[in-house]
Amino acid sequence: MTTLVILGPTGSGKTGVSIKIAKAIGGEIISADSRAIYKGMDIGTAKPNKEEQQGIPHYGLNLVEPNERFTVADWKKYANDKINEIKLRGNVPIVVGGTGLYIDALIFDYQFKGPTGAKIGDTEQKTCSDRKEVKGDFLIVGIEWKTDELRERLNKRITQMFRPELFDETTKLVQKYGWGSQAMKSDIYEYAWEYLNGNLSLEQAKEKCFYEDWHLAKRQMTWFKRNPYINWMRLEKVYPFVLNIFNN
């Protein structure tokens, strides 16, 4: 059975379309997001809540505490285990996310040195031939937007995220974990905390977060564009494209 992979930059609409597709083809979703693995980091990582998940099983969310180590190798093993479980149930695994190293480790079957492998950014530890051959049955779909469209989407999303619930979440995370872990240095929490401490105005915090997300989106697209196996298309074309393939 084919595993569907839906990828794209932050704010591209991956979550919504993957849930719609999962409902139509009997899919279960595995998150490939290196921030969504952390417990308690919900609003700031744009995790789909239970209502937004619409009854579709989701995996790869809330796996570890923000101060716990979780490597690319850990995620790859977790994702492969879930893919096998989902297939045994007769359902379609749908891997969804924007963390390029996670996705490449899975589809190109990267092997890692040492007992636990590498963290994000420690790419020199991985041993792989490169992106010459996908190892397995994957259909890989990428969501692309024009530059001005994606910027507008990111701007709207950030405006929606900067709300009282985010500030409550940020305060709880800082009280529990402090700023010692890399997970807590995720852009939006840093700027929300600066706003709460009076170091930034709300508009300044939103602006800084927007530019952080925009630079992230550009880095993600640079990474993905090197993968020749991705079927790129606009968001509105993803659903009919996938259904046409899985229904034939």
pLDDT score for 119 = 47
Other Cβ atoms within 10 Å of 216 Cβ, number: 16
Looking at residue 91, its pLDDT comes to 97
- Segment 175-203, tens digit of pLDDT: 998 887 778 777 799 999 999 999 999 99
Looking at every residue in the chain, the average pLDDT score rounds to 91
Token pair belonging to 89: 């149930």
Is domain 3-146+224-246 classified as CATH 3.40.50.300? Answer: yes
Q: Which two tokens stand for residue 141?
A: 């779909």
Segments making up each domain of the chain, as ranges: 3-146+224-246, 149-215
Give residues with Cβ within 8 angstroms of 214, minimum separation 6.
151, 154
Instruction: State yes or no: pLDDT of 230 exceeds 50.
Output: yes
Quote the CA–CA distance of 19 and 24 in Å, as a whole number: 9
Predicted confidence (pLDDT) per residue in 154-167, tens digit? 999 999 999 999 99
* Type of residue at 150: L
**Mind listing the pLDDT tens digit for each residue in 117-129?**
554 444 534 444 4
HSE of 221, CA atoms in CB hemisphere, 13 A? 17
Predicted local distance difference test score (pLDDT) of residue 102? 97
Token representation of residue 93: 């695994």
**CATH code reported for the domain at 149-215:** 1.10.287.890
223 token code pair:
């990474």
